[in-house]
Structure 1
Amino acid sequence: MLTLLSIRRALLPVALLAPALAAVAQDAAAPAADAAAAAAAPAADTGAQMFMFWFLLATLALVLLVFGLLFVLLVIKMKPQLRALYELPTVHDTWSGKVLGLLVGDAALITGKDKDELMGHDYDGITEFDNDLPPWWKYGFYFTIVFAIGYMVFYHVTYTGDLQLAEYETEMQQAALLVSADDDDPNKLTTYTALTAGPDLEAGKALFITNCAACHGTEGEGKVGPNLTDDYWLHGGDVNHVYKTIKFGVTSKGMVAWKGKLSGKQILQVASYIESLHGTNPPNAKEPQGEKEAPSGPPLAAK
Structure 2
Amino acid sequence: MRLARQALYTAGATLLAAHPALAQTAEASAPTADPKLPLLWFLLSTLLLVMLVFWVFFVALIAWMRPQLRQLYDLPTVHNTWSGRVLGLLVGDARLVQGEVRDELLDHDYDGIHEFDNDLPPWWKYGFVLTAIFAVCYVSYYHVAKTGQLQGAEYATEMQQAALLIAATPDDPNKLTTYTVLNTPAELSSGKSLFTTNCAPCHGASAEGKVGPNLTDEYWLHGGEVNHVYKTIKFGVNGKGMVAWKGKLSGKQILQVASYVLSLQGTKPANAKPPQGEKEAPAKTLASR
Please report the TM-score for the alignment, with normalisation by the length of structure 1: 0.71
Alpha-carbon offset, residue 100 of structure 1: 0.9
Query: Once the two structures are superposed, what CA deviation does each residue of 1:88-138 show, in whole Å capped at 9, x if it has no partner?
Result: 111111011111111111011111223344432335544333332222221
Query: Once the two structures are superposed, what CA deviation does each residue of 1:42-72 show, in whole Å capped at 9, x if it has no partner?
Result: x999x89999888877766665555444433
Corresponding residue number in structure 1 for 2:261: 274
Equivalent AA in structure 2 for residue 294 of structure 1: E
Corresponding residue number in structure 2 for 1:189: 176
Equivalent AA in structure 1 for residue 92 of structure 2: G
Corresponding residue number in structure 1 for 2:281: 295
Q: Identity percentage over the alignment?
A: 67
Please report the TM-score for the alignment, with normalisation by the length of structure 2: 0.74
Query: Once the two structures are superposed, what CA deviation does each residue of 1:143-183 show, in whole Å capped at 9, x if it has no partner?
Result: 21111112222222233332212332233234334434311
CA contact (8 A) 1:246 1:258 kept: yes
Query: Once the two structures are superposed, what CA deviation does each residue of 1:274-298 show, in whole Å capped at 9, x if it has no partner?
Result: 1232232211101233x21322516
- What residue ranges of structure 1 are gaps of 5+ in the alignment? 1-36
Alpha-carbon offset, residue 268 of structure 1: 1.2
SS of 1:212 mapped into structure 2: helix
Corresponding residue number in structure 2 for 1:211: 198
Distance 1:49 1:241, change over 3 A: farther
Query: Once the two structures are superposed, what CA deviation does each residue of 1:194-224 show, in whole Å capped at 9, x if it has no partner?
Result: 3334443343233323332232223211123
SS of 2:259 mapped into structure 1: helix
- What residue ranges of structure 2 are gaps of 5+ in the alignment? 1-27
Distance 2:73 2:83 in 1: 9
SS of 2:127 mapped into structure 1: helix
CA RMSD of aligned residues (A): 3.5
Map of 1:1-303 to 2, 5 A cutoff? 64-250=51-237, 252-289=239-276, 291-295=277-281, 297=283
Distance 1:266 1:119 in 2: 83
Corresponding residue number in structure 1 for 2:15: none
Distance 1:192 1:157, change over 3 A: same
Give the number of equivalent residue pairs: 259
Equivalent AA in structure 1 for residue 67 of structure 2: P
Distance 1:193 1:63, change over 3 A: farther
